[in-house]
Chain A
Amino acid sequence: MGHEVISNTSLSPTVHRLVVSAPRIAVVRQPGQFVIVRLGPGAERIPLTIVGSDAAAGTIELVIQAVGKSTADLVAVAAGSYIDDVAGPLGQPTDLITKGTAVCLAGGVGAAVMYPIARRLSEIGVELITVVGARSSASILFEDEFRSFGDLIVCTDDGSAGRAGFVTDALADLIAAQTVDVVYAAGPVPMMRAASAVTSPRDIRTIVSLNPIMVDGTGMCGGCRVTVAGAMRFACVDGPEFDAHSVDFDELADRLTTYGAAERIAVDHVCRSAGQPVTGRHGAG
């Protein structure tokens, strides 16, 4: 049993796109939802956004950035190999607008989270402006696809493509220049917090996709708790998308650091036992 990896392609030095057999999920999944993936015995359960699906082929697309031991293991799975467990689709689908103007704001691998949302918005036919940010031109994800959905603004930290600077600066310019009805944002916590700060004074509805540490993904463990409008919510069942202006980003950012030391141990352990060089940051997977 298990889920066959149909293809595994490299999108950037650390980011891979896996097409995985999951026939039922391919049929019912909606933008904004995720799966929990467990590679095999001893592996972690990792939440991953469902980037796309092909119902006829019975496959889903996952985009994985190797940031730690578990994600490095996943991007190393060769086509024709199997992933033991894929559970889903989990989480609430994105609350999509049906008319007006939407901005999709993506930082880094957050582009993978934003891709299915932008795609569906373009199918619905709303005015769509996508803003994608990356460190440099080599790590921009889905550029051609986003361009086919509507307007695209590319931002890079080093100015090697598009405008130099943060996506949130581009967002500030956008909302100063035109009417925007909703902003969907996904990326590192500081980026989502900054996006929220940009739209808050103008009271523009802003929806962020949160990525807290998760174990079961069905509401059972409470590890993914976030504070939204002063109340505890579980990202796995109540989210993962929430009203940005109500999210306690400080708490989210802090809780994401819980297993930093453990991740270094896991990576060291791999290096010692297998001699594989892995660059790790933290254990959010």
Chain B
Amino acid sequence: MTTEPLTKRQRMAIGRQEMPARDAGERSGTFNEVNLGFTEQLALLEAQRCLACARPVCVEGCPVSVDIPSFVASIEAGDLAAAARALFGDNALPAVTGRVCPQEHQCEAVCVRGRKGAPVAIGHLERFVADWARGHPHDDVVTSEPSGRRVAIIGAGPGGLTAAGELARRGHDVTIYEALHLPGGVLSYGIPEFRLPNEIVDNEVDRLQALGVHIECNVVIGRTYTLDELRKSFDALFISVGAGLPMFLDIPGEGFKGVYTANEYLTRVNLMRAYAFPEADTPVLRGERVVVIGGGNVAIDAVRTARRLGARQAMIVYRRSRPEMPARVEEVHHAEQEGVTFEFQVNPVAIEGDADRWVTGLRVIATELGEPDESGRRAPRPIAGSERVIPCDAVVVAVGTRANPLLTSSSPDLALTNRGYLAADERGMTNLPGVFAGGDIVRGSATVILAMADGKRVADSIDSYLSGTPVELTAP
């Protein structure tokens, strides 16, 4: 370690450190985590690249406003305990976000180092500190006296887990209700082991339980209990159930055997451990040639999963071009290394099947890109006469999700948007007093970190609401 602080010139001379990764050939056959994590040496070098800007724009780029310069400076100073304190103070699940956040669109997108060369690898550093902290448990304690107030959180995904931690630390008695048999939401059923090992999620859940958070699995709000029943037993509610109803393409053949939604495919493999069939009881079809429709992170997770399940051909079919893909750049890169192939600017028109209704191919039509649509991305238009069939024996539909009406339809008083999502004001409160909501059920399909940002923000609102602090009302 240097005794003199580094000069800016010295810092600028250090190049971005590469994340050590498992060999592509080796990993495409296993579900072991791909990224191996920075060593202390790599983390130190990477931390030294930070210029400690007077106005740290990276913090503004972070949905949960992590004090990035502070934890990076602590890494550089060799004080990892301080780095962990700084990080956990702002982010309840840094071991998760360090792995799954789209940093290239957030903190790293605005990093000053990125103007000339590569930005500081903030995500890799975050993961480094969080992983260190798992081996060096810090005191995560309830900082307030018990408030005597009870909060129910519906859904143990990233938003619900984040809110639970924030509220428990402030002395509130928190119960999370989860519909599935394990907590974690998309972190458990959706994001594969090779990107986010289950033990990371287990560890976060253990920490919450140590804070006194109760987690009740197998409870389906809207069925096991109604929202109104919860309102009678709790002082405030946070609805963080996710969007969770898979969308289909509405093309012929979606009922054929071998057609999965990404939710089903990933749930079978991740939550139900179908990769271990028949040791685990839940099966999944292992296609020789698997086509995944979509360009987001879920599509990439599915196609890399297919490759690991033994698919000779694992292909992404995306209707726009490569730059429009919403997936994390690193995952696309990893997928390519693992032998995943890509067909851009083709739109599925039908799934083809044989006489026994098993999938035999995906009929697609080529597209050209027109003017930007309402999402700002160029809208694909089909090119007449360009139809062809991509042979395959499994199709995974990964084109997004929409609001699941299971909870909302059982609570007719709850105000919805015209797309079926929950309407919430700036504080995250719905039209029902004391009933708050956040994450995908408010935003539509988004990201883990945005759900966490909502969890954090709404926890503040709930804390204010419970302590009777007046808050400014805005129209939903």
Cβ–Cβ contact B218 & A28, under 8 A: no
* Contact digits for A235-274, partner B, Cβ 8 Å, 1 yes 0 no: 0010000000000100100110111001101100100000
Q: How far is the CB of B112 from chain A (nearest CB, A)?
A: 42
A residues whose Cβ falls under 8 Å from a Cβ of B = 24-25, 28, 38, 42-45, 69-70, 73, 84-90, 215-216, 218-223, 225, 227, 232, 237, 248, 251, 254-255, 257-259, 262-263, 265-266, 269, 283
Chain A nearest CB, measured from B264 CB (Å): 4
**Partner among A24, A84, A215, A251 whose Cβ is within 8 Å of the Cβ of B255:** A251
Q: With A44-B272, A219-B244 as given contacts, are A225 and B218 in contact (CB-CB < 8 Å)?
A: no
Instruction: Please state if A220 and B246 are interface contacts (CB–CB under 8 Å).
Output: yes
In the complex, the answer to whether B272 meets A215 with C-beta atoms within 8 Å is yes
Q: State which residues 268-305 of B face A: CB under 8 Å.
A: 268, 272-273, 276-283, 285
- B244 and A45 contact, CB distance less than 8 A: no
Q: How many residue pairs at the A-B interface have CB separations less than 8 Å?
A: 122
Inter-subunit contact A232/B264 (CB<8 Å)? no
Q: Which residues of chain A come closer than 8 Å to B246, judged between CB atoms?
A: 220-222
Interchain CA distance A227-B254 in the complex, whole Å: 10
How far, in Å, is A34 (CB) from chain B's closest CB?
Answer: 11
For A89, give its contact among B180, B224, B356, B357 (CB under 8 Å). Answer: B224
Question: Would you call B179 an interface residue if the criterion is a C-beta within 8 Å of the partner chain's C-beta atoms?
Answer: yes
Which has the most chain A C-beta neighbours within 10 Å: B223, B258, B356? B223
Q: Is the CB of A85 within 8 A of B181?
A: yes
User: B180 near A216 (CB under 8 angstroms)?
Assistant: yes
Q: What is the bound-complex CA distance between A259 and B179, given in angstroms? A: 25
> Could you tell me which residues of chain B, from 226 to 263, have a CB within 8 Å of some CB in chain A?
244-246, 248, 254-255, 257-258, 260-261, 263
Distance A43 CA – B356 CA, assembled complex (angstroms): 29
The secondary structure that dominates the A interface is mixed
Q: Smallest distance from the beta carbon of B106 to chain A beta carbons, Å?
A: 27
Name the one of A25, A84, A222 contacting B264, with C-beta atoms under 8 angstroms. Answer: A222
The answer to whether B277 touches A266, judged by C-beta atoms less than 8 angstroms apart, is yes
How many Å from the CB of A70 to the closest CB on chain B? 5
B406 at the interface (CB under 8 A from A): yes
Whether the Cβ atoms of A225 and B255 lie closer than 8 Å is yes
A215 and B218 contact, CB distance less than 8 A: no
Instruction: Write out the residue numbers on chain B whose beta carbons fall within 8 Å of the beta carbon of A89.
Output: 223-224
Q: Which residues does chain B contribute within 8 Å of A221, judged by CB atoms?
A: 246, 261, 263-264, 267
Return 30 A-B CB contacts under 8 Å, by A number.
A24-B224, A24-B225, A42-B279, A44-B272, A69-B281, A70-B281, A84-B181, A86-B218, A87-B180, A87-B219, A87-B220, A88-B224, A89-B224, A215-B267, A218-B244, A220-B189, A220-B263, A220-B404, A221-B261, A222-B246, A222-B248, A222-B261, A223-B261, A223-B264, A225-B248, A232-B248, A237-B405, A255-B257, A262-B285, A265-B278
CB atoms of A283 and B255 under 8 A apart: no
In angstroms, how far is the closest chain A Cβ from the Cβ of B358?
Answer: 9
Report which of B218, B255, B267, B279 forms a contact with A255, defined as CB distance below 8 A: B255
Decide if B272 touches A25 in the complex (CB within 8 Å).
Answer: no
Which partner residue on chain B sits nearest A221 by CB separation? B264
- For residue B217, CB closer than 8 A to chain A, the reply is yes
Given contacts A84-B181, A255-B255, contact A42 B280 (CB under 8 A): yes
Nearest-neighbor residue (CB-CB) of A263 within chain B = B283
Q: Pick the contact of B273 from A42, A251, A259, A269 — CB < 8 Å?
A: A42
**Contacting pair A262 B279 (CB below 8 A):** no
**Chain A residue at minimum C-beta to C-beta distance from B255:** A251
Tell me the bound Cα distance from A221 to B298 in angstroms. Answer: 13
A266 and B278 within 8 A (CB): yes
Given known contacts A86-B218, A258-B285, is B278 in contact with A269 (CB within 8 Å)?
Answer: yes
Q: Which residue of B lies closest to A251 (CB)?
A: B255
Apart from A85-B218, A220-B404, 6 more pairs, CB < 8 Å:
A85-B181, A87-B181, A218-B180, A219-B244, A220-B267, A221-B267
Contacting pair A45 B264 (CB below 8 A): no
Contacts of B356 in A (CB 8 A): 254
Bound complex: CA of A86 vs CA of B223, how far in Å? Answer: 13
Q: Are the C-beta atoms of A215 and B261 separated by less than 8 Å?
A: no
Partner of A216, one of B217, B267, B279: B267
A3 to nearest B CB, angstroms?
9
> A283 to B281, alpha carbons, bound, how many Å?
10
CB neighbours of A85 from chain B (8 A): 181, 217-218
Q: Note all chain B residues with C-beta closer than 8 A to A215.
A: 264, 267-268, 272, 282
**Contact present for A43 and B255 (CB under 8 Å):** no
Interface residues of B in 86-123 (CB under 8 A from A): none
Chain A residues with Cβ below 8 Å from B404 are 218-220, 237
Return B469 CB to nearest CB of chain A, in Å.
35
B181 touches A38 (CB 8 A): yes
Partner pick for B406 among A219, A227, A269, CB 8 A cutoff: A219
Please indicate the chain A residues that have their CB under 8 angstroms from the CB of B278 in the complex: 69, 262, 265-266, 269
**CA gap between A271 and B357 in the complex, in Å:** 31
The residue of chain A having its C-beta at the shortest distance from the C-beta of B404 within the complex is A219
Instruction: Answer whether A237 and B280 are a contact pair too, CB < 8 Å, given A221-B264, A225-B255, A251-B255.
Output: no
Select A218's contact among B179, B225, B255, beta carbons within 8 Å: B179
CA distance A88 to B276 in the complex (A): 27
Closest CB in chain B relative to A250 CB, distance in Å:
9
Quick one: closest A residue to B409, CB to CB? A237
Chain A residue nearest to B397 (CB atoms) is A222
Q: Is the CB of B257 within 8 A of A237?
A: no
Question: Which B-chain residue is minimally distant from A91 (CB atoms)?
Answer: B223
**Chain B CB within 10 A, most for which of A216, A255, A257, A283:** A216
- Please give, as numbers and ranges, the residues of chain A lying within 8 Å of B267 by CB-CB distance: 215-216, 220-221
Q: Are B179 and A216 in contact (CB under 8 A)?
A: yes
CA distance A73 to B281 in the complex (A): 10
CA distance A256 to B374 in the complex (A): 40
Chain B, range 453-471, C-beta contacts under 8 Å to A: none
CA distance A215 to B189 in the complex (A): 11
Complex alpha-carbon distance, A280 and B252, angstroms: 33
CA distance A216 to B190 in the complex (A): 13
Query: 8 Å CB contacts to A: which residues of B26-76?
Result: none
Contact B406 A218 (CB under 8 A): yes
Taking a contact as CB atoms under 8 Å apart, the answer to whether B272 and A219 are in contact is no
Question: Do A220 and B281 touch (CB < 8 A)?
Answer: no
The reply to whether A237 and B181 contact each other, CB–CB distance below 8 Å, is no
> Which residues on the A side are within 8 Å of B189 (C-beta)?
216, 220
Assuming A221-B267, A222-B264, is B282 touching A44 (CB within 8 A)?
yes
Shortest Cβ distance from residue A72 to the other chain B in the assembled complex, whole angstroms: 11
> Is A42 a contact partner of B261 (Cβ separation < 8 A)?
no
